[in-house]
Amino acid sequence: GEDVEQSLFLSVREGDSSVINCTYTDSSSTYLYWYKQEPGAGLQLLTYIFSNMDMKQDQRLTVLLNKKDKHLSLRIADTQTGDSAIYFCAGEVGGFQKLVFGTGTRLLVSP
């Protein structure tokens, strides 16, 4: 089945850019997603990318997709302390059947 891997932890300073990486195994995923989870809270959809795109930009967020390497990244420009959270990538499996989530990357932004 689909396996989605992320690095566990990233620490940056306020104002820097953050890059969170994700690798996946199922090349048939049509959509790939990034979600943000703050402590004790739900999963907030940040952005998604269609599999025939290489890049998508949405304000401070840039998603890069390398289908050949099955690698997805989320870049957050001008990272703020409010961006501290866990970030999950998720790949679609079997069309609308389900999303498979990565392990999550804990982003810590220090002042």
Partner 1 sequence: EPEVTQTPSHQVTQMGQEVILRCVPISNHLYFYWYRQILGQKVEFLVSFYNNEISEKSEIFDDQFSVERPDGSNFTLKIRSTKLEDSAMYFCASRGWTEAFFGQGTRLTVV
Contacts with partner 1, residue ranges (CB under 8 A):
31, 33, 35, 41-45, 48, 50, 88, 90, 94, 96-104
For 22, the 3-state DSSP assignment is strand
Nearer to partner 1 among residue 14 and residue 61 (C-beta):
61
Phi, psi of 17 (to 5 degrees): -90, 145
Nearer to partner 1 among residue 12 and residue 43 (C-beta):
43
User: Do residues 70 and 100 make contact, with C-beta atoms less than 8 angstroms apart?
Assistant: no
Beta carbon of residue 9, minimum distance to partner 1 (angstroms, whole number): 13
Nearer to partner 1 among residue 75 and residue 101 (C-beta):
101
Beta carbon of residue 15, minimum distance to partner 1 (angstroms, whole number): 27
For 86, the 3-state DSSP assignment is strand
Residue 55 and residue 73: Cα distance in Å, rounded?
Answer: 10
Nearer to partner 1 among residue 52 and residue 111 (C-beta):
52
Beta carbon of residue 39, minimum distance to partner 1 (angstroms, whole number): 11
Which residues lie below 8 Å from residue 52, measured CB to CB, with a gap of 6+?
none
Beta carbon of residue 7, minimum distance to partner 1 (angstroms, whole number): 14
Amino acid at 95: G
